[in-house]
Chains A and B, each alone.
Chain A
Amino acid sequence: MTTNSLVEDYHPRRVLRRVASPLFKLFCLLATFSGVVALAVLLGALISQALGKKPGRPWYAIGQNAVDLARFLWALTGRSQDIDAATAGFKAGVVSSLWLLVLVALFAIPIGVGAAVFLEEFAPPGRWRKIVQTNIANLAGVPSIVYGILGLSLFVRAFGVPNLAMGYTLWAGALTLSLLVLPVIVIAAQEALRTVPKPLRQAALGLGATRWQVVRDHVLPAALPGIMTGVILALSRAIGETAPVLMVSQADSILTPPRGPWDDYAALPVEIYNYAKEPAVAFQTVAAGGILILLVMLLSMNAVAIVIRHRYGRHSRG
């Protein structure tokens, strides 16, 4: 073997290797930012759509534009559905979605956290627990529209039993959405419970606490920030869902916001969908405004989740 071939062996494709590495890094960087940038661009376009053309004012007059936008969104929350875009708004949608938020929280939080506590703290490990766990993971992957079908048959029509059928009421919508987000809450709560250190439980048990006392007084408080974060994210998913709510509501004819859980309703995303379907340009502006209202609601929920994670996150790690 000559010296030359030895060098070849130790430096195969030297130039290529030197170029490939930074090039690859650049590609990865571009890929990472592409999604975020695409969304930012589209949101910018959305805002300008909602704002409409203001003659003589450039886009960078941010203060004035922000005031205008806020006024527009506020006006939209005060108007009902209309076939005239100039007076159309999302009054019923905003109120309905807030109702849904409360009702879903009422159902999904206790049941979801309860199931998580059972699986993590009480259930004996074994075949049954594994089956339930797999089932929950699969439920989380079921398309949301399938939950809509389930809600339509089970809650709205109750298989045709007239006394049990709820019709297209808030209850039916809330129960459907609760089933939809239940697996999400269970999985998030389980993860939060798993971060609570074992010695905490052992110490409490060693002092004579019952299993339930250990969970109630020690494990749940320690896991609470994590559970809250998961719950808020799940609820914001429920508020943003369109397809299942479309199936368990008759939103077209809802002009007044619901007053109680037995009233008919029109969730905000469904109203947005109904406006977005309209070909007239004026309705696109209304739909864009509705989307911004929805995003403001979701972002404020997300912000609460982030604050909770930051403020309490460190203590729970024990």
Chain B
Amino acid sequence: MNAMPRDTVATTGPLWAKRSGLQRLEGRAVSIFLVICTLVTALTTLGIVIVLGTETVRFFQVSHVGIGEFLVGHEIEFPNRAGGGPIHFGILALVWGTFVIAAGACVIALPIGLLSAIYLSEYAPRRLRAVLKPALELLAGVPTIVYGYLALMMVTPALRALLTPLGVHVDTFNALSACIVVGVMIIPMVSSLSEDVLSAVPRGLREAAYGLGATKFEVSTKIVLPAGLSGVVASFILAISRAVGETMAVVLAAGRQPNLSLNPLKSVETMTAYIVAVIGGEAAPESPEALSLFAVGMVLFGFTLMLNIVSGLVLKRYREVY
């Protein structure tokens, strides 16, 4: 190649310089690095599944708790000594507590989040919107420990001041104040995701409806909302998933009383709160009690993963294509 006269290059090979060896080496090294980076994300998922899986299996082996009892039982009992009777562990009370908190939070967050999404996409003047959207995002950036503190120190006393004169007893740790703060916490999630979808509805649809004499209310609720329904539902499901996985606010405000009651003024224990309680407790690392947190974590992971997948499917499958 090198010995060839210059004018024959065009007929035998490309006119441009070939990649130097260094460039090729660099390209190869970079590709390998980038693939490794991407693999880290896949390995994280694998790590979660392996850790939760193996330790959950060990929990069942060590504790002699049946899967049936685990799923439908509601007693949690770890005798202190080896001879202190059998271990009882049922997750039902924890699942119920989680459900109460998530449902209560949704009662607050879903309507408020949806209405504010509609306001931001349909009503708000451009300038107000430019202020409100970042403000809502700031709300989402407040650490959950702050919400927990506020629930314990301010929401619960406020509830007491409000309800005690009516003769209603409010526990120091109660589900309602946790519901309220978790609700406030997930509002931005609902509103910003829904707003994205609602603003993406084409203007032509709105203008056609206005042309037929519809009011703004009718356009919002009968045209825009149905058109963006898939995104709204997806944001609802994601918000539920977030409420299910919420930890610190619930730990601080709702306490740790495994409870199957519907009374929101009593203390409940969620799956996340149970995990924190075991970590903060005295259980030895290999004891059944310490291993039980992995089993609970497995169920929690399963729940949220299912909700996230369903949310993604809803968004994909029922998306309106304009």
Contact = CB atoms under 8 A, between A and B. Distances in A.
A183 interface: yes
What's the interface size class on A, roughly?
35 or more
Contacts of B217: 17, 20-21, 24-25
A208 B304 contact: no
Interface string B36-51: 1110111011011001
B154 A139 contact: no
B48 A115 contact: no
Nearest to A243: B247
A28 B48 contact: no
**Residues of B contacting A: mostly:** helix
A205 B45 CA distance: 35
Contacts of B33: 114
B134 interface: yes
B174 interface: no
Interface stretch (B71-79, B89-97, B144-152): B144-152
Nearest to A275: B149
B35 interface: yes
Given A29-B123, A39-B184, A210 B116 contact: no
Contact of B148 (A20, A276, A284): A276
A210 B23 contact: yes
Interface residues of B, number: 90
A49 B297 contact: no
Contact of A298 (B26, B30, B143): B143
A261 B52 CA distance: 27
Interface string A269-303: 10011001100000010011001001100100010
Interface in A1-39: 17-18, 20-21, 24-25, 27-32, 34-36, 38-39
Contacts of B216: 21, 24-25
A143 B55 CA distance: 18
B112 interface: yes
Given A24-B220, A149-B275, A182-B41, A295 B146 contact: yes
**Residues of A contacting B: mostly:** helix
Contacts of B23: 210, 213
Interface stretch (B61-69, B202-210, B305-313): B305-313
B320 interface: no
B139 A35 contact: yes
Nearest to A27: B115
28 contacts: A18-B215, A21-B218, A31-B116, A45-B154, A49-B153, A123-B38, A137-B312, A139-B44, A141-B238, A141-B242, A141-B308, A145-B297, A146-B304, A149-B52, A150-B44, A182-B41, A212-B30, A242-B145, A242-B248, A247-B275, A247-B279, A272-B145, A272-B149, A273-B251, A276-B145, A291-B145, A294-B145, A306-B134
- 10 A-B pairs with the lowest CB-CB distances in the bound complex, closest first: A143-B245, A240-B143, A114-B37, A28-B119, A31-B115, A118-B34, A32-B116, A243-B247, A21-B217, A141-B308
